[in-house]
Amino acid sequence: MRMGRRQFLGASASAVLVAGTFGRGTVFGANERIRAGIIGMRSRGTYLMKAVSKVDGFEVGAICDVDRDVLEARAAEYQTNTNKTVATYRDLRDLLAAGDIDAVFVAAPNHWHVLAAVWGCQAGKDVYVEKPMSHTIWEGRQLVAAAEQTGRIVQVGTQRRSEPQWQRLVERLKAGVIGDLYAARVIHYSTRPPVPLHPDETPPDTLDWPLWQGPAPDKPFSKKYVHYDWHWFWHFGNGEFGNNGVHYTDIANWVLGKGLPVHIASQGGRYGYADSAETPNVQTTTATFADGTLFTCEIRGRYSNDEGGSKGGNLFYGANGYAVDATCYDAGGKEIPDENPPASGDAVLLHLANFRDAIRTRNRDAVPAKPLDGHVSAAFCHLGNIAYRLGRDVTFDPQTETFGDDADANALLTRAGYRAGFEVPRLA
């Protein structure tokens, strides 16, 4: 059974979940093509449109964007590149109600990730949701629940989970090649320009500004938000920590396997210029797990040297050595040869192929980047941002995913409120 748009918009979350999966839910044959709909057609959505088209077994059936100019440009680009036409939608709810779409790819801004993915699950679609999986800790937990309750295949766009070099690193570190790990460190240094002081103004008639905001309470339109710098405002984004930092926190989460930390501190600010943005362009976060293992993350959006030959990567410290990205060293700094070096491959294409295979077999365990993985890796970033925004250390309970009786910290676990009709449903 497929829902039409009117049914989809009128169905409550509980009714959808009680009814179960509305997609066909069958195993795809090896030669049956999976029709994909891509939501959000700026840089990442365009990249996914091209990448999905390269993976055998997928075909792009629809694209969606709230900006008419962007949507028309991408449709024309797709036709030029493939000699095929693609269905276009301004409203993702119309795409989700389309009976000929099997899987959706959520590449809209961060504040849309969870709601679009939950709606996708409830509409019977399998879902690929870009990183960070969530905009807040509470929202992430609701998507984990939606995937469980609907049985849909959900994969997070942290593609390094499908990359052989990272898979091999995790295997080696878990096997103890540098001994027991006592600390992990993340670095991401990427120069970011200032965000101009644009005034509030009337949105262009090509942009559906209320729909762009979706679950976020209304703000006046400003060019400082669209189409990229929303990352640097808490209302829509998660700063550089939640933007690129989540790729590295995901590796750390994968290697350490300790869940979430119990104590978090974070300091920083916007350095080097005065501009309109809110999130820090320089930020250092330190977290401690229940067993004492340390985790630190350094984000620098200004000029910086590299470390270990990298301006963005993972470092792990063990009793007998250390690792810089996928290379392991002994206590004397000598590289430890890998007796079984991994093959190379395009991480995104491999990730998409794994998503395809999981859809075909309906094996949710085959997904390399599961919703719970995405939730924990994004929550690392959210915890650091909460400590930063409060200007003090915070103590976290990973079991309840709350800050105990710390009301100010708990208030930042989710939004204070949602736009009517765009509420993220409470599922957990």
Look at residue 419 and tell me if it is in a domain. no
Is the pTM value of this prediction over 0.85? yes
Do both 402 and 366 map to the same domain?
A: no
Look at residue 59 and tell me if it is in a domain. yes
Look at residue 417 and tell me if it is in a domain. no
Do both 130 and 202 map to the same domain?
A: no
Do both 357 and 385 map to the same domain?
A: no
Look at residue 367 and tell me if it is in a domain. yes
Question: Could you count the other beta carbons within 10 Å of the beta carbon of residue 50?
Answer: 15
Question: What does each of the 428 residues of the chain score in pLDDT, given as a tens digit?
Answer: 344 554 555 443 333 333 333 444 556 666 689 999 999 999 999 999 999 999 999 999 999 999 999 999 999 999 999 999 999 999 999 999 999 999 999 999 999 999 999 999 999 999 999 999 999 999 999 999 999 999 999 999 999 999 999 999 999 999 999 999 999 999 999 999 999 999 999 999 999 999 999 999 999 999 999 999 999 999 999 999 999 999 999 999 999 999 999 999 999 999 999 999 999 999 999 999 999 999 999 999 999 988 877 788 999 999 999 999 999 999 999 999 999 999 999 999 999 999 999 999 999 999 999 999 999 999 999 999 999 999 999 999 999 999 999 999 999 999 999 999 999 999 99
Do both 29 and 100 map to the same domain?
A: yes
Q: Cite the DSSP H helix spans in 151-266.
A: 164-174, 209-213, 239-243, 245-256
**Domain total in the chain:** 2
d(CA 39, CA 18): 26
DSSP character string of 247-296? HHHHHHHHHH---S-SEEEEEEE--SS--S--S-SEEEEEEE-TTS-EEE
Do both 173 and 206 map to the same domain?
A: yes
- pLDDT recorded at residue 23: 46
Do both 149 and 284 map to the same domain?
A: no
- pLDDT recorded at residue 94: 98
- pLDDT recorded at residue 8: 53
Q: What is the DSSP letter of 402?
A: B
Provide the CATH number for the domain around residue 129. 3.40.50.720
Q: What are phi and psi of 204, to 5 degrees?
A: -65, 150
CB 161 within 8 A of CB 250: yes
d(CA 228, CA 390): 25
Do both 229 and 290 map to the same domain?
A: yes
Look at residue 129 and tell me if it is in a domain. yes
Question: Could you count the other beta carbons within 10 Å of the beta carbon of residue 425?
Answer: 18
Do both 305 and 170 map to the same domain?
A: yes
Provide the CATH number for the domain around residue 310. 3.30.360.10
The domain in which residue 53 lies consists of 5-161+349-371
Look at residue 423 and tell me if it is in a domain. no
Look at residue 363 and tell me if it is in a domain. yes
Look at residue 233 and tell me if it is in a domain. yes
Do both 236 and 365 map to the same domain?
A: no
Do both 338 and 220 map to the same domain?
A: yes
Do both 223 and 143 map to the same domain?
A: no
Do both 387 and 361 map to the same domain?
A: no
